[in-house]
Amino acid sequence: MEALTPEQTPARLCELSADARAAVLLDAAGALAGSSEDDPDRARALGEMTRELMEAVDAAGGEPAEQVEVQVPGGAVYASRNPRWTLAVVARRSALSSLMLWDLRAVLGELDGAPPIRRAVAVEPAQDGPATEEAAAGESPVPELGAELEP
Amino acid sequence: MRERRKGPISRAAGIAEGVAATMRRIQRDREPRVLLYDESGYARLLQPEARGRERVLELGDEMVRLLDEAQQAARRARRAG
């Protein structure tokens, strides 16, 4: 399995979330490291605005925010950061905040080497004999998290 | 416990109250706002008087508009040719 590169990261986020319209990744210095936009001017503009937005958030004081949600009449902007990267996405108005924020964090994790996140998958029924209480006790109560699929 | 409404007028008034409450909630959800989350996921609403809030909203709006304009331009180009 290939690791996610900074250039691929914004596109990966847009692939995961149907409500993501465009995403950009900034490095620790605030420079554009990747964008889902093909148009370089638009990618640069989004990167620049993301950098400014995070600076404005920091200027607001209080505890430094790890994630930001900005709701405006035409849509929403979400951003998530760690010491190395800032990933921001422009989303549709209908986007669910908790899902967007979770996807942002998960994709940043992938970039830092965590295994890729998976959506719910159907679990194949066990092939090795009849179901027993002992076997059931070892199963994850949330099969879509994939506990049974681990080698 | 919620009082049970008796009679058609009272029930209609109950429905109207429910609709009004839903409209208020939708209206509130559409208001521009900035939420900041810490590492544990705890959310903090940036108050209207907070420094930088207006700029954050302005930038968020600009980012959304940038994509809207690009989308409209692409649509126009498709139609034209």
Helices (H), A1-80: 9-16, 40-59
Question: A139: pLDDT confidence band, cut at 50, 70 and 90?
Answer: low
State the ipTM, two decimals. Answer: 0.75
DSSP state of A143: G
CA distance A31 to B31: 31
Number of H helices, E strands in chain A: 4, 5
Sheet containing strand B33-37, edge to edge, reads: A32-35, A20-27, A85-91, A75-81, A67-72, B33-37, B43-45
Position B6 pLDDT exceeds 60: yes
Question: A140: pLDDT confidence band, cut at 50, 70 and 90?
Answer: low
Instruction: Provide the chain B residues 1-60 that lie in CB contact (below 8 A) with chain A.
Output: 29-39, 41, 43-44, 46, 50-53, 55-57, 59-60
CA distances for A2 relative to A36, A47, A113, A151, B68, angstroms: 19, 26, 10, 19, 34
Tens digit of pLDDT for each residue in A15-46? 999 999 999 999 999 999 999 999 999 999 99
pTM listed for this prediction: 0.75
Taking contacts as CB-CB distances below 8 angstroms, the residues of chain A near B62 are 49
Diameter over CA atoms, chain B: 64
- Decide: A60 and B36 in contact? Cβ < 8 Å: yes
Cβ within 8 Å, pair B55-A56: yes
